[in-house]
Structure 1
Amino acid sequence: MNIAVPEVFASHRLLLMYKGDISALTMFAQQAGGSVCFPQSLPPLSVAFDEDAAVAEGKITVHPATLVSAINQILGFDNDLLYAEAGYQEYVDTPKGIVTVYMARFKLLDPPHRLMQTLGCQMRTLPELRGRPPAEMELLRRAYTKMMEG
């Protein structure tokens, strides 16, 4: 996606996911370039911090609702199409500094296949996303675990 990325996304990313309330089908949005991070991929050599790492101490961060609002504007979505998934906040060590990753969930009954295709993106299940960089795979694993436990 060739988009102007707001400065707030220099140190933040979003995973966009869909979970069926009845079927529990869980899918993640994937950009044409392969990344599952929005609006841009993580830099090469990025590594997800251990789940219990105390990274956030003293770190100023942005509320996930602000990021969801920004991604809605970037992608041309209605303001109520996505909402921030409470409790998902992960940290990734990148060559450019620490990136905080949140998750936004689609408020839809069915997966948004056509909508995402119009943006050059796809909705994929976790097995379909195998082979992504290790940091992304770890973020996806943690997101999937969070959704299945919550």
Structure 2
Amino acid sequence: MNSNNPFSNYRLLLYYKGDISALTLFVQHSNGSVCFPQPLPALSSALEPEEYTDSKVSVHPSALIQNINQQLQLDNDLLRAEAEFSVQIDTPNGIITVYMARFMLLDPPHKLLQSRACQLRTLPELRGRPPAEMELLRRAYSTVMES
């Protein structure tokens, strides 16, 4: 892990959900990953909640969102952290915690994201991602549908 980067042990899933239609779309980077700012390492796997480890130091999701806003040049009010979503991923380099943030817009931000080399995708369009990402997406979708 890059000890110079305070976010190296964290990732963020970005999604859009229509309030009326319940259409749920996840943001996919041009590299194919749904994790921001970078993909999960190869050989990653999602841990079950009972396997989670308590970290003495953790990054608040809002700090991660602020970092992503800077990287993608997004306005600070577009994304809101989903407090009830946190998944730990076991990687060859240690545990990575994944949080989720929702685009707080009436319409899907297709053009905005395309200009940032990203796409909004439905869950079926994301089939074939690595197993850890598919499990993340499954858990994220369940969280979104329950909220």
Give the TM-score category using the shorter length.
over 0.9
Q: Which residue of 2 aligns with 1:26?
A: 24
Pairing 1:48-63 to 2, within 5 Å after superposition: 48-55=46-53, 57-63=54-60
SS in 2 for 1:38: coil
| Alignment partners' CA distance in 1, 2:62 and 2:30 | 25
Corresponding residue for 1:78? 75
SS across alignment from 2:68: helix
**Percentage of identical aligned residues:** 62
Per the alignment, residue 127 of structure 2 pairs with 130
Deviation at 1:119, TM superposition (A): 1.0
2-structure distance, mates of 1:49, 1:129: 21
Q: Report the TM-score when normalising by structure 1.
A: 0.92
Length, aligned pairs only: 144
Q: 2:114 aligns with which of 109, 117, 123?
A: 117
In the aligned structure 1, how far is the partner of 2:49 from the partner of 2:137? 13
The AA in structure 2 aligned to 1:67 is L
Q: Which amino acid aligns with 1:77?
A: L
Q: Which amino acid aligns with 2:120?
A: M
- 2: CA distance, partners of 1:99 / 1:59: 14
Deviation at 1:134, TM superposition (A): 0.3
Unmatched 5+ residue regions in structure 1? 1-5
Q: Root-mean-square deviation (CA), in Å?
A: 1.1
Confirm or deny: 8 A CA contact 2:7 2:59 kept in the other structure: no
Unaligned runs of 5+ in 2: none
Name the counterpart of 2:14: 16
